[in-house]
Structure 1
Amino acid sequence: MQKIALHTRLKPGKEAEYESVHAAISDELDAAMRAAGVHHWDIWRSGRELFHVVEVDDYQATRKELATNPVNIAWQAVMAELLEVEDDYSGNDMGLAKVWELP
């Protein structure tokens, strides 16, 4: 299993709307993410900065699978209204580079 850290940024003034949208995701989106290999996903926010930690079987395979999933495509359309998005869901990224950890 992989643990991937990600960073995204909200558009100005979208903080409350983003939190509202994430108060509960649909059962369909939950099922799509789990079927694509996601085991756990945390998001933290500091102002407009969002930090994610994702536990997933194979991050690149998950991204490629979700790129064509209609439920995820609809979710990404909602996110595109809230986030400064530069993501093509190619599956080629590996998230943030790990710098250090306390063993």
Structure 2
Amino acid sequence: MQRIALHTRLKPGREAEYDRVHQVIPAELASTLRAAGVHTWRIWRDGPDLFHLVEVEDYQRMRHELRDHPANVPWQARMAELLEVRDDYSGNDSGLSLVWELPTDGEETA
């Protein structure tokens, strides 16, 4: 399982609309995400900045599977109205780089 962190940014003034749109995710999209290997997808917002944590079997495969999926295409079109920068769902990205993580009990730190 992979844990992928992502950062996206909203267009100015779109915070409330983004929050409202995410109150109910279409059931078909949720089942498509699960079928593509997503276990969880969490989003935090700080003003216009969005931070995502995705737990997924294979991030690149998931991105490729969703790119042209009929449940995802309209959702991505809606997100394009709200987000500053959109990607092409190529799956070539690997998310944010991990800088530090609290070691689990028993692990030594340098």
**Is TM (by shorter chain) over 0.5?**
yes
Query: Counterpart amino acid of 1:2?
Result: Q
CA distance in structure 2 between the partners assigned to 1:5 and 1:55 by the alignment: 9
CA distance in structure 2 between the partners assigned to 1:73 and 1:86 by the alignment: 13
Q: Over alpha carbons, which structure has the higher Rg?
A: 2
Equivalent residue runs for 1:21-100 within 5 Å: 21-100=21-100
CA distance in structure 2 between the partners assigned to 1:78 and 1:100 by the alignment: 34
Tell me how far 1:68 sits from its aligned partner: 1.4
Compute the TM-score of the two structures, normalised by the length of structure 2: 0.92
Q: Between Structure 1 and Structure 2, how many residues are aligned?
A: 103
Could you give the per-residue CA deviations for residues 36-66 of structure 1, whole angstroms, max 9, x where no partner exists? 1100011000000000000000000000000
Consecutive aligned runs of 4 or more in structure 1 exceeding 6 Å deviation: none
Query: Counterpart amino acid of 1:46?
Result: D
Structure 1 vs Structure 2 CA RMSD: 0.6
CA distance in structure 2 between the partners assigned to 1:36 and 1:84 by the alignment: 26
Q: Secondary structure at the match of 1:30?
A: helix
For structure 1, list consecutive stretches of 5 or more residues without a partner in the other structure.
Answer: none
Question: Which structure shows the bigger proportion of residues in helix conformation?
Answer: 1
For structure 2, list consecutive stretches of 5 or more residues without a partner in the other structure.
Answer: 104-110
Compute the TM-score of the two structures, normalised by the length of structure 1: 0.98
User: What is the percent sequence identity of the aligned residues?
Assistant: 68
